[in-house]
Structure 1
Amino acid sequence: MEIAEIQPQLFGQFSTILRQKKLSHAYLFSGSFGSFEMAIWLSQAIFCENLTDGIPCGRCRPCRLVVKQEFADLHLIVPEGQTIKTAQIRELTQVFSEAGYEGTRQVVLIRDAEKMHPNAANALLKSIEEPESDVVVFLLTNNENMILQTIKSRTQVITFPKNTLYLQELLEKEGILRTQAELLAETSDSLETALSISQQSWFIEGLKKLQQFVKLLKTSTDETFLYLSELTDTFDDKEKQDQAFDLLLQLLAQEKMSSHLLKTFKAVRMWRSNVRFESCLAFVVIDVYDN
Structure 2
Amino acid sequence: MELAEIQPQLFKQFSKILQGEKLSHAYLFSGGFGSFELAIWLSQALFCQSPQNHLPCGHCRPCRLVAQQEFTDLHLVEPEGQMIKTAQIRELTQVFSESGYEGKQQVVLIRDAEKMHPNAANALLKSIEEPETQIVVFLLTNNENMILETIKSRTQVIHFAKNVSYLQGFLEQKGLLKTQAELLAQICHSPDEALEIGQQNWFNEGLQKLQHLVKLLQKSGDEAFLYLREVVELFDDKEKQSIAFELLLQLFNQEKMSPEILKTFQAIKMWKSNVRFESSLNFIVL
TM-score, normalising length: structure 2: 0.97
2:23 corresponds in structure 1 to 23
Q: Distance in 2 between matches of 1:77 and 1:203?
A: 30
Cα distance in 1 between the residues matched to 2:134 and 2:76: 16
C-alpha contact 2:260 2:284 (8 A) present in aligned 1: yes
For 1:180 and 1:109, how far apart are their aligned partners in 2? 32
Q: Summarize the alignment of residues 62-211 of structure 1 with structure 2, pairs less than 5 Å apart.
A: 62-211=62-211
Report the equivalent of 2:231.
231
AA paired with 2:187?
Answer: T
Q: How does 1:196-275 map to 2 (within 5 A)?
A: 196-275=196-275
Q: Give the C-alpha shift of residue 117 in structure 1.
A: 1.1
77-86 or 120-129: which moved more?
77-86
Q: CA deviation at 1:62?
A: 1.0
Q: Which amino acid aligns with 2:150?
A: T
Residue aligned with 1:96, SS: helix
Cα offset for 1:250?
0.9
How far 1:219 moved relative to its partner? 2.1
Compute the displacement of 1:154 (Å). Answer: 0.3
Q: Which residue of 2 aligns with 1:43?
A: 43
**Distance in 2 separating the partners of 1:123 and 1:5:** 36
Q: CA deviation at 1:13?
A: 0.8
The structural deviation recorded for 1:144 is 1.0
What is the letter of the counterpart of residue 174 of structure 1? K
State the distance in 2 between where 1:107 and 1:94 align: 13
User: How many residues are treated as equivalent by the alignment?
Assistant: 286
Partner deviation per Cα, 1:119-174 (whole Å, 9 max, x = no partner): 11111000000111111000011111111110000001111111111111111111
TM-superposed CA distance for 1:276, in Å, is 0.8
Question: CA–CA distance in 1 between the matches of 2:172 and 2:266?
Answer: 32
**Corresponding residue for residue 289 of structure 1:** none
* Amino acid of the structure 2 residue aligned with 1:53: N
8 Å CA contact 2:73–2:100 kept in 1: the answer is yes
Tell me the distance in 2 between the aligned counterparts of 1:203 and 1:216. Answer: 20
Amino acid at match of 1:77: V
- Matched with 1:280 is 280
Using the alignment, how far apart are the partners of 1:217 and 1:98 within structure 2?
A: 62
Task: For structure 2, list consecutive stretches of 5 or more residues without a partner in the other structure.
Answer: none
C-alpha distance in 1 between matches for 2:2 and 2:79: 26
How far off its partner does 1:224 sit? 1.6
Q: Any idea what SS the aligned residue of 2:76 has? A: strand
Query: In 2, distance between residues paired with 1:256 and 1:46?
Result: 49
The share of aligned pairs that are identical, in percent, is 72
Q: CA deviation at 1:36?
A: 0.7
Alignment-mate amino acid for residue 10 of structure 2: L
Shift of 1:221: 1.7
Which residue type is aligned with residue 152 of structure 2? K
Aligned to 2:219, the other structure's residue is in SS state coil
Structure 1 stretch displaced more, 185-194 or 203-212: 185-194
Please report how far the alpha carbon of residue 253 of structure 1 lies from its aligned counterpart in structure 2 after TM superposition: 1.1
Write the letter of the residue equivalent to 1:204.
Answer: N
Matched position secondary structure for 1:242: helix
CA distance in 2, matches of 1:66, 1:179: 36
Structure 1: how far apart are the matches of 2:180 and 2:88? 40
The range that moved more, 148-157 or 276-285, is: 276-285
1: CA distance, partners of 2:107 / 2:130? 15
Conserved? CA contact 2:171–2:181, under 8 Å: yes
| Counterpart amino acid of residue 191 in structure 2 | L
Unaligned runs of 5+ in 1: 287-291
Which stretch shows the higher mean deviation, 177-186 or 146-155? 177-186
Question: How much does 1:25 deviate?
Answer: 0.5
Which SS does the other structure have where 1:202 is aligned? helix
Amino acid at match of 1:151: I
Q: Offset of 1:198 from its aligned partner?
A: 2.1
Equivalent-residue separation in structure 1 for 2:55 and 2:258 (angstroms): 47
- Secondary structure at the aligned position of 1:29 is classed as strand
